[in-house]
Structure 1
Amino acid sequence: MDMVHDASGMGHLTINTSAVFPDSEQLKAAGFLEGWLTAERIHQHFQNMVAFYETSNNENGPAQFQFLATQEVWLRHQMNSSDTQQSPFWAYIRLLMAQFDGLVQPLHRTTSLAAASLPQRGPAARLASSAAGAEQPGAAGEEQPEAGEEEPLPLLSRVPHLTSAQLYFLCSLGDLGDITAALNRRQAMASQAASRQQGRQQAGGQQHGQQGQQ
């Protein structure tokens, strides 16, 4: 049920899968359907979140996004490592990522819209830039359906595509507060260390000058 039809203002989506299939296939299929059926709401949420981080965390934005990119690479390496194949924890992570990969598929294949609807500058704009796509519908090099031919995934034709990195950002929103705080502490410690080093250099220079005068 879409949020416009519910008094709470919240959308509801229930997907039932079949135990005939492996758990990973069930979760990937559920993720695919979620992405297909709620693509417009997902993209609206993405726009809201990049706008928030554009205005509220302008300095830390690039570090946050780089952290998430590094984290995903590490996560996928760990879950596919032979050392984690017998771990219940990593088995659960593999299932979660199967659902995430299913979510990415329909949203990554949609038709692009104009970039004007997305942030135009700053770190959040750089994260959001690929959501509009490098080419617009009808641009040179983009395949167009022939007359009478239906576009793939027509339900999504009005929604810009989102990359895997952008969806990973959305799925990590619950952790961004902690990530931001940690990055702020690291940045503050680096600034303090640089200030101390600069102070020592200045003090050394002053002592050297005094000795020269003597």
Structure 2
Amino acid sequence: MKNILRMTHQRELILEELGNCHSHPTADALYERIKKKLPRISLATVYRNLEILSEAGMIRKLEISGRQKRFDKEIEQHDHVFCVQCRRVDDIKFDQSRLVSLEEGQNQGYKISGCRVEFYGVCPKCQAKNKKKLASKGDCNEGCAKGSCKKNELSERQREVLEVLAKSNDLCVNKDIAAVTSLDPKQISCQLTALKKKGFVTSPVRCKYEITKNGKLAL
């Protein structure tokens, strides 16, 4: 079919743009590139020709589980890795001969014609963005000393509530904390909410609270 497929101008342009795009684009993304050169081309035309070129063996169609189909100009056998955050897809070298083949009786009656390996994770760009985002929030993943992270800093009211929970052998309700502090129940509720977000307080039973291991370390 590859030899008898008629190469129209549209198909030539699709192949050209696919070759220039190393991100394994979806049909939608490729359409956005192609319509800059062929403004009157439709998305349906791009979809149809990508399927035709794929069936002809001139491009590869990547059907990554649960995601939009992507297309690849490289038709030689290879595997891919995709980012779970930005959906970027890259080629990866993997020796499939290392895979264990199905033993007799494991194929559920199927005639196996091949297999597909999917790797996934977080790409370098997203890792850098995540690290920058954490730094801008004042968070720290390096096991910093007590008080060096803004997230772990305690206000006087938070410390007062946390100290009561640390000294208690039982779960505490608001009125238990109010009885031994200078705070009213409304103030205590606000502080408990903030402490829960920091991971310093937990509520295993509704409206009853206890200090966590991290909460004890913060004091």
TM-score by length of 2: 0.29
Which structure is larger by alpha-carbon Rg, 1 or 2?
Answer: 2
Which of the two has greater strand per residue?
Answer: 2
Structure with bigger helix share is 1
Q: TM-score, normalised by structure 1?
A: 0.29
Q: Per chain length, whose mean CA-contact separation is higher, i.e. which structure has more relative contact order (CA < 8 Å, sep 6+)?
A: 1
